[in-house]
Amino acid sequence: MTKVEVPSRWPMYIGGIAFESEKCSPVIDPGTGQVVATVPAASREDVMKALEVAEEGAEIAVNMSSHQRMQILRRAAETLAGDAEAFAALIATEGSKTIREARKEVGRCVDTLRLSAEEARRQGGEVLPFDQAPGSENRVGYWNRTPLGIISAITPFNDPLNLVAHKVGPALATGNAIIVKPSGQTPLSALKLAEILYEAGLPGPILSVITGEARDVGGPLVQDPRVRMVSFTGGLKTGEHIAHQAGLKKLSMELGSNSPVIVLADADLDQAAYACVSGAFWAAGQNCLGVQRIFIQESVYVEMKQRIVELTSRIRIGPKLDEATDMGPLISEAEARRVAHWVEEARQHGATVLIGGTRHGAYYSPTVLEGVPAGETVLEEEIFGPVASLIPVPDLDFAIREANHVNYGLQAGVFTRNIPQAFQAIKRLRVGGVMINDSSDYRIDAMPFGGVKGSGLGREGVRFAAEEMTEPKLVCFNL
């Protein structure tokens, strides 16, 4: 089993300077319930200080050359790659992921930083032929992309390192200053990432990391007019609240999902079952792309169900730092109780628990349901836990209608060998991404990532986030 030593007290960073606070917040290992560290509980005054510093940081950032930004991001990526095991252990200690899941997140974060470095060289524009309009024959010009200024980023617990990098990397690549408010449950990875960026040469005022409770510091980060963009990953209700509070500024929001997977009769059932089980129970189901509703064509429903239940039975639950563990706890016992309540509610209304359905503290067993009545919470809302529901369907048309029924649309998976049916699903599924012969859980960090309906606004993925964090500026010369 991996061993890790975590400092008991961490500072937050305002403009690259370590700040302590009289009031602290605990960071609790959800697997043991023990406090592993404390971080400052920032006040409104701390946020206002960070905003003042960020004004200076925005001026520094916009005047940095592309190659300077690239060098900083590359150095940070190399440092992270060289210290990958320590970062993985930190992720697994403060959050829900197993050590093997955490290692994959670190690897993805290295890629995110490298992609961000490359994006710094691509912030160009185009020459615009003004002489296309009569009377403008003597005019020449162009447009390019310029940074917004100050960005605030609010990140969740489930990917405490890479989701921070998905906001910080593009912001730095495009010449912005950024203030990060990481999840109060998993702030340590964000703080450690800030440290390696400072060590890589990032001027302190460009990046601040504020810790504490969102209710104490979220207001200014959302409402202050100096903030020109709020980049938020989290729940739908919080996203709606931010949208009402933000005022006239850019918003980028990834608000979760209730992801469908459609398995048609001609699919490779072994491939589909493996992908569905992996997608449903990765990180204890606390994944915005997690497989939640599995629509299976009736002629192969029994076969597919057997495969899914068998694979689910092999998942090993245990301590996160144990190399043999496949799935750890949820982020808190309260979340595990909520998931258990949703499942029990469905069971009382007629659903059958095929496997799982038990809770021990913050651990909830991988659970597969069938016969869930329409309208149940486990079918309508994002469960964000290790629960998937099997639903027999007569054909693709029916499956698409049911998949589109909910107020989410992040990604979907479709398993079929039939190309025309695949393209029919691509056209009709109301989601931000369709994975053919993969589960909804597939993602690389270079691709556009985001959804429709209640799943959010805008797109992440390094190139696409960089575009969101800039705006076109037109230049015209009258010769």
Identify the DSSP state of 148: -
What is the pLDDT confidence band of residue 277, given thresholds at 50, 70 and 90?
Answer: very high
pLDDT(2) > 70: no
Q: Which two tokens stand for residue 429?
A: 């599924």
- Residue by residue, DSSP assigns 219-269 as HHHHH-TTEEEEEEES-HHHHHHHHHHS-SSEEEEE----EEEEE-TTS-H
Q: What is the pLDDT of residues 163-194, one digit of tens each?
A: 999 999 999 999 999 999 999 999 999 999 99
Q: Dihedral (C-alpha) 192, 36, 383, 314: value to the nearest 10 degrees? A: 100
Selecting among 254, 335, 460, 468, the annotated active-site residue is 254
Quick check: is 288 catalytic? yes
Q: Average pLDDT, stretch 71-99?
A: 97
Q: Residue 479: is its pLDDT beyond 70?
A: yes
Mean of the pLDDT values across residues 291-314? 98
Question: Is the predicted pLDDT of residue 198 greater than 90, yes or no?
Answer: yes
pLDDT of amino acid 140: 97
Mean pLDDT of the chain: 96
Worst-scoring range by mean pLDDT, 16-25, 83-92, 296-305, 348-357?
16-25
Confidence band for 1, pLDDT divided at 50, 70 and 90: low
Q: Assign 6 a pLDDT band (cuts: 50, 70, 90).
A: confident
Helix runs in 246-332, H state only: 269-281, 301-313
Give residue-wise pLDDT tens across range 221-231.
Answer: 999 999 999 99
pTM over 0.75: yes
Query: What value, to the nearest 5°, has the Cα angle with vertex 173 and ends 168 and 178?
Result: 35
Q: What pLDDT score was predicted for residue 216? A: 82
Percentage of the chain surpassing pLDDT 70? Answer: 99
Average pLDDT of span 239-262: 95
Q: For residue range 443-465, list pLDDT tens digits in order.
A: 999 999 999 999 999 999 999 99
- Every domain of the chain and the residues it spans: 12-255+455-478, 259-444
Considering 288, 335, 370, 382, which one is annotated as catalytic?
Answer: 288
Which fold, 259-444?
Aldehyde Dehydrogenase; Chain A, domain 2 (3.40.309)
CB-side neighbour CA atoms (13 Å) of 214: 22
Q: How far apart are CA 441 and CA 153, in angstroms?
A: 23
Residue 206 backbone class (left: φ over 0; alpha: ψ -120 to 50; beta: rest): alpha
What is the per-residue pLDDT for 61? 98
| H or E segment to which residue 472 belongs | strand 470-478
Q: Confidence band (pLDDT; 50, 70, 90) for 288?
A: very high
pLDDT value for 136: 96
| pLDDT number for residue 164 | 98
Q: Can 344 be counted among the known catalytic residues?
A: no
pLDDT band at 436 (very low <50, low <70, confident <90, very high): very high
Q: Across residues 236-254, what is the average pLDDT?
A: 95
CATH classification of 12-255+455-478, choosing from 3.40.605.10, 3.40.50.300, 3.40.50.1980, 3.90.1170.50?
A: 3.40.605.10
pLDDT tens, residue by residue, 148-159 = 999 999 999 999
Q: Are 237 and 382 in contact (CB under 8 A)?
A: no
pLDDT of 4 over the 70 cut: no
Q: Which residues pair with 431 in a beta bridge?
A: none
